[in-house]
Amino acid sequence: MPAPPAAPLAQVVPLTPVDGVYTYRVPPEMDAEAVAGARVVVPFGRRTLTGVVVERFGDDDLDPETAPKLKPLYDVLDARPAVPADLLALTKWVADYTLCTWGEALKAALPSGTGVESRRVVHGLAPPDAWDEPRGRKVLRALQERNGAGLPVAQVAGVLGRKTVPQNLLRRLEAAGAVRLDDEVQEARARAKTARHLRLATPPAGGNSRTVRGARQTALLEHLAGVGEGGAVQAEAFAATGATSSTVKSLEARGLVEAFDAEVERRADGLDGPAPEAAPPVDLHPAQEAATDAIAGAIRAGRGGTFLLHGVTGSGKTEVYLRALRAALDKGKTAIVLVPEIALTPQTVRRFRAPFGDAVAVLHSRMSPGERLDAWTRIRDGRYPIVIGPRSAVFAPLDNLGVIVVDEEHEASYKQFDPAPRYHARDVAVMRAHRAGAVCVLGSATPSLESVANANAGKYTRLEMPDRVPVRGPDGTTHAPAPLPPVRVIDLGREKQVRRLKGALSHDLRLAIEARLGRGEQTILLQNRRGYAPVVTCEDCGWTPTCTDCAVSLTVHRDRYGKLSDQLRCHYCGLTERLQPACPECGERDLRLLGQGTQRVEEEIAEVFPEARVLRMDLDTTSRKGAHRKILDRFGRGDADILLGTQMVAKGLDFPRVTLVGVVDADTGMLLPDFRASERTFQLLAQVAGRAGRHELQGEVLLQTRNPDHAAIRFALAHDFHGFAHVEMAERLALGYPPYGRLVGVEVKGPEQRSTEALAERWGVALGQEAQKVAGVEVLGPAPALVGRVKKWWRYHLLVKAPRTLPPSVLAAVVRAVRDRVGAPGGHRVNLDVDPVGLY
DNA sequence: AGCACGCCGACT
DNA sequence: GTCGGCGTGCTC
């Protein structure tokens, strides 16, 4: 009999949007495993679900109120805690900061699809005609059609075409024995995978390897001798040696080889595979040297700190990251590298795997749940000291963290919106590093104004790399880089008057492209709008097609069959319909297509330069798995002259023969009613401009705009980040926007306009009342969202604004008070977004 | 977020 | 009277 546990109780946080920590009894046999950080299966109300143990304690200080309600843990899912202690604390911080539950934050830190959940399910036991009431027959018929598979209770409402579950009817059916109600437990979808392995028998029983006959048997034995006790996956051993199952059978019979099942790691193809060969070390440029010294010095000294690494495109930030990782590894510490999802390309991964090889684990969204689980488990077990991935990788279960790198820290994709937690991975990275005594490196050519402000305030150490560094060509020789490319503005307004511009490409841009075609150089064209034309309108009556479910006009998409098969698509809900050749209102056949999408620019290029080979890269051409990579590979091989696409062509690409970058319409997004519109435009222009002339060939950038005097354009022209930041900061200060103010966005949604608007009003009033209690807090709105209706749901926005000096917890308390008081009654939804990044 | 309960008006 | 909608409260 084992001694009863000293701490027989466990505090558990269920992985749901339910607030609070719940106490369970720990059965003695689970005592050793149900430690803080372990995932456990618990009964919760009528359901069974997965939670995380956050604390163990004894029953001496149990309050008598909860004591009688205690239930036991059903199961422990982890032999080793899934959530290390520092991540327990970090997720709690994330929950408090972003106004979600601890359970939601923990869920973000765990691989998806590995928990257990239950739901109420009805099983039919009697045929429909055994019941004489129509509604009961209908339910029984539906159950019969499912062949005993069972129907979730929540779906019974739908079967009868009503909104609520007919509890009464179900109870009567159950009492009569016509149905059975069950709590059906859904096991984890993703599990560890095992495969048959082979190894040499120890000690070799019976036979003796000298008696072995045949090349295959000998080859297999040699192979297995080389892999040691861990054995080899049978299928791989067969492939390597030509052995077959009969080879194994005869060796097994003689006791020379034994087979066993063991876990294998599923690996994502493309981004993974064997490590590339390490490139010889490069000499650091003085600015890189200084940055490396500062960062690596802090890592070696173990003193932590956040660094803002501001380096122009091509200044060699990645090399600095690699040195930082090296410093961490040399100290026996681990590291995380965050990259924007779109930049997580094979090219990027190769860069990190070259020097560190098999020490690098990659996490990314295109991995299957199984692959992700395998990578995650091995990271937790200490197999990989370096993790590279998108925002969720900030929660990678690494111990002993030395450094977190956030590449392109200004990228909006670091902010998660749905589902909660609405966290910013950069901010979580800074906090996680800080708590771990680790170093955080925020790198960008165009840092966010938030980070600039933190550097100005002395919270971050600023490191500047203002020059491009020498590059190594494919042949191994290094050469001086071209300077940052000159940027030229083409005023489309003037162009229209003077040269009667018809399409999307101005005379000068055409000339520039033509010159590249003539010299065999490459061009990148940015048109940040997909489809053919954003709007259609009837020449005669002004009719414009709009989405039935969303408050937006439909975009025209044209496929390779041309105009006759034109489609209308909603970019918010995906609705697709045929564009009819005549106006449905007045019958006019002259429909005008307004504006330019990537498809239309592609068509124009084909007309003007029929010989040019064009690759289009946008959401529509990259939705298939691997398509993104294929396009970039082709362009990189020189199999195309022009890469045309949306913002995805602006990020982190490095092609030596690109000497021209053209921005077809720099104004896209610039005039949106969002205080960050100008910052985003400047960042996009600076990033895309950085794609030109990165190697020895001098590059050139052409920006087409109707607003040549706009600050984003003017400073992008001069590659002047500091100038832009200065002007934009003044603007933010005047308006009290970040980084000089704190914001919480409130999004009120509902299926019906009046009630949604009314609820938004109630939130406005309640927020106003709460805001009065705290100096400096202001409420803006409610106002209809920019897109006032999406997928049939109406949307209203409010914005709570507070001075930077107000502690985030105080502002959070204001909003939380209103959530408790007003909430989201009657089928509405209210989303709270702390530090919003999107449109408000 | 589920899930169940209990209160209301609208029909047979 | 029941049924269906909806608001409310609870989950160790």
In a domain, A538, yes or no: yes
Q: Could you give the 3-state DSSP secondary structure of residue A781? A: strand
Residues A674 and A114: their CA atoms lie apart, in Å, by 39
Q: Distance (Å) from CA A780 to C1' C11?
A: 36
Consult the annotation and say whether A547 binds a ligand: yes
Consult the annotation and say whether A440 binds a ligand: no
What pLDDT, in 10s, does the model give residues A356-392? 988 999 998 888 889 999 999 999 999 999 999 999 9
Question: Residue A363: which of A374, A351, A352 has the closest Cα?
Answer: A374
Residues A333 and A425 in one domain: yes
**Torsion sign (Cα): A150, A156, A158, A159:** positive
Residues A25 and A134 in one domain: no
The 8 Å CB, 24+ separation contacts for A353-357 are: A353/A275, A353/A276, A354/A275, A354/A276, A354/A277, A354/A278, A354/A279, A355/A278, A355/A279, A355/A322, A355/A326, A356/A275, A356/A325, A356/A329, A356/A386, A357/A275, A357/A278
The closest nt to A44, taking CA to C1', is C11
What is the pLDDT, as a whole number, of residue A31?
95
Question: Residue A322: which of A277, A362, A278, A356 has the closest Cα?
Answer: A356
Quickly state the pLDDT bin for A2 (edges 50, 70, 90): low
pLDDT higher than 90, residue A731: yes
Residues A721 and A817: their CA atoms lie apart, in Å, by 40
What is the pLDDT, as a whole number, of residue A7?
85
The closest nt to A46, taking CA to C1', is B3
Q: Distance (Å) from CA A22 to C1' B6?
A: 27
How far are the Cα atoms of A57, A285, A535 from residue A62, in angstroms, in the given order?
A: 9, 62, 65
Q: If you average pLDDT over residues A713-738, what whole number do you get?
A: 96
Residues A402 and A437: their CA atoms lie apart, in Å, by 8
**Bases along strand B below 7 A from a protein CB:** 1-5
In a domain, A246, yes or no: no
In a domain, A208, yes or no: no
What is the pLDDT, as a whole number, of residue A348?
87
What pLDDT, in 10s, does the model give residues A812-822? 999 999 998 89
Residues A55 and A18 in one domain: yes
Structural contact between residues A165 and A157, judged by C-beta atoms closer than 8 angstroms: yes
Residues A708 and A769 in one domain: no
CA A138 to chain centre: 43
Q: If you average pLDDT over residues A439-449, what whole number do you get?
A: 98
What pLDDT, in 10s, does the model give residues A118-135? 888 899 998 888 888 888
In a domain, A193, yes or no: no
> Whose CA is nearest the C1' atom of nucleotide B4?
A167
In a domain, A292, yes or no: yes
Residues A585 and A577: their CA atoms lie apart, in Å, by 17
Structural contact between residues A539 and A592, judged by C-beta atoms closer than 8 angstroms: yes
pLDDT higher than 60, residue A1: no
Residues A522 and A427 in one domain: no
Most confident of A486-500, A553-567, A715-729: A715-729
pLDDT higher than 90, residue A161: no
Among A682, A704, A734, residue at a domain's last position: A734
Domain count, chain A: 6
What is the pLDDT, as a whole number, of residue A564?
85
Pick the range with the lowest mean pLDDT from A205-209, A608-612, A747-751. Answer: A205-209
What is the pLDDT, as a whole number, of residue A171?
87
What is the pLDDT, as a whole number, of residue A51?
96
What pLDDT, in 10s, does the model give residues A708-719? 999 999 999 999
What pLDDT, in 10s, does the model give residues A135-160? 888 899 999 888 878 888 888 888 88
Quickly state the pLDDT bin for A508 (edges 50, 70, 90): very high
**Domain boundaries, position A553:** 534-594
Residues A711 and A830 in one domain: no
Say yes or no: Cβ of A821 under 7 A from any atom of strand C: no
pLDDT higher than 60, residue A205: no
What is the pLDDT, as a whole number, of residue A347?
80
What is the pLDDT, as a whole number, of residue A536?
95
Residues A277 and A282: their CA atoms lie apart, in Å, by 15
Say yes or no: Cβ of A161 under 7 A from any atom of strand C: no
Q: If you average pLDDT over residues A44-72, what whole number do you get?
A: 88
Residues A524 and A659 in one domain: yes
pLDDT higher than 70, residue A204: no
What pLDDT, in 10s, does the model give residues A7-37? 899 999 999 999 999 999 999 999 999 999 9
In a domain, A95, yes or no: no
pLDDT higher than 60, residue A209: no
CB A43: neighbour CB atoms within 10 A?
A: 15
Residues A347 and A411 in one domain: yes
Consult the annotation and say whether A541 binds a ligand: yes
Residues A461 and A501 in one domain: no
Quickly state the pLDDT bin for A836 (edges 50, 70, 90): very high
Say yes or no: Cβ of A156 under 7 A from any atom of strand C: no
What pLDDT, in 10s, does the model give residues A606-665? 999 999 999 999 999 998 878 888 999 999 999 999 999 999 999 878 899 999 999 999
Which residues, 6+ apart, have CB-to-CB distance to A495 below 8 Å? A501, A506, A507, A704
What pLDDT, in 10s, does the model give residues A168-192? 888 888 888 888 888 888 888 888 8
Residues A432 and A292 in one domain: yes
Say yes or no: Cβ of A63 under 7 A from any atom of strand C: no
Q: What CATH number does residue A499 fall under?
A: 3.40.50.300
* Percent of chain A at pLDDT exceeding 90: 69
First to last CA, chain A: 63
In a domain, A278, yes or no: no
Q: Distance (Å) from CA A136 to C1' B10?
A: 22
Quickly state the pLDDT bin for A270 (edges 50, 70, 90): low
pLDDT higher than 90, residue A320: yes
The closest nt to A69, taking CA to C1', is C12
Residues A526 and A653 in one domain: yes
What pLDDT, in 10s, does the model give residues A86-109? 999 999 999 999 999 999 999 999
In a domain, A68, yes or no: yes
**Bases along strand C below 7 A from a protein CB:** 3-8, 10-12
CA A314 to chain centre: 25
Residues A197 and A219: their CA atoms lie apart, in Å, by 16
Whole-number mean pLDDT of chain A?
91
The closest nt to A168, taking CA to C1', is C3
Q: Which residue has the tokens 């995932």?
A: A39
The closest nt to A419, taking CA to C1', is B1
What pLDDT, in 10s, does the model give residues A401-413? 999 999 999 999 9
Quickly state the pLDDT bin for A830 (edges 50, 70, 90): very high
> Whose CA is nearest the C1' atom of nucleotide B1?
A17
Among A438, A469, A500, residue at a domain's last position: A469
Residues A819 and A759 in one domain: yes
Q: If you average pLDDT over residues A537-548, what whole number do you get?
A: 93
Residues A429 and A90: their CA atoms lie apart, in Å, by 10
The more confident residue out of A202 and A415 is A415
What is the pLDDT, as a whole number, of residue A215?
87
Say yes or no: Cβ of A827 under 7 A from any atom of strand C: yes
Among A163, A186, A209, residue at a domain's last position: A186
Say yes or no: Cβ of A70 under 7 A from any atom of strand C: yes
